[in-house]
Amino acid sequence: MSTSVTVNTYTHAVTYVADNIFKSLKDILRLSGLSPENLVGDRESIMRALTAWLNSKHLERISLEIYNPKDDSLITSWDVEIKYGWSSDDGGFWTDTDQLRYEIKKAGVLPSDVKYDIRFKNKTGRPDVLGWSLQPSRSREGFVQKSLGSTVSHSGLGGSTSVLRKAS
C-alpha cells in the first residue's frame, strides 16, 4: 500500500500572488495616508475576482485608482500588470515591497478627501465573477507611467507594479 500526495502548484501560485497583490494595495493606501477600510471591507469580493481571473489567465491588470470625488478625475493609479510565465519547475516565490515604500515616500501623503477604487482589466472571454462587471478606467491622458518592476512572483506567475503620475 502506498500513499500519494499531489500538490497543484499553480493553485498555490494564484493564492500567493493574489494575497500579496491585495496586501500591496492595502500598504499603498496606508502609507499614502489613506484609510484601507473600504478595500479591506471588499476583501472577499476582490479576492474572489483576483483568484478567478488569475486561475483562468484572463487578468491583465488590477489598478488602484485614486481620484478626486468632486469631478471623478484621476489623481494617480497604482497598476499591477500580470505576467503568466508559469512553470512547474520554478518553485521560487518572493514579494518586494521596498520599492513600493520608496516610491510612496517620494510622492508624499495624499489629501484625505480623495477616494479610491479597484479596476480590473481582463482579456476577452473572461468568466463572470459575482459583484464585478466591465469597468472602464478613468482617463489617463496627461499622465506618465513609472515602472517599478516585478513586485510579486510565485512559480513564474507574478505582477509588475507601476504608478501613474501627472506629466510635468
Contact (CB, 8 A) for 95 and 24:
yes
Q: What is the pLDDT of residue 155?
A: 80
R_g of the chain computed on alpha carbons: 17
pLDDT at 132 over 50: yes
Give the mean model confidence (pLDDT) for residues 28-55: 95
Instruction: Please tell me the class of the 9-123+139-166 domain.
Output: alpha beta
- Strands 157-166 vs 73-84: parallel, antiparallel or unpaired: antiparallel
Whole-number mean pLDDT of the chain? 88
Q: Is a pLDDT exceeding 70 seen at residue 94?
A: no
Residue 135, C-alpha cell as written in the block: 469597468
Q: What is the pLDDT of residue 86?
A: 58
Q: Which three cell numbers stand for residue 82?
A: 500580470
Is the entire prediction scored with pTM above 0.85?
A: yes
Torsion of CA 44, 48, 51, 57, to 10 degrees: -150
**Residue 128 and residue 53 in contact, taking contact as beta carbons nearer than 8 Å:** no
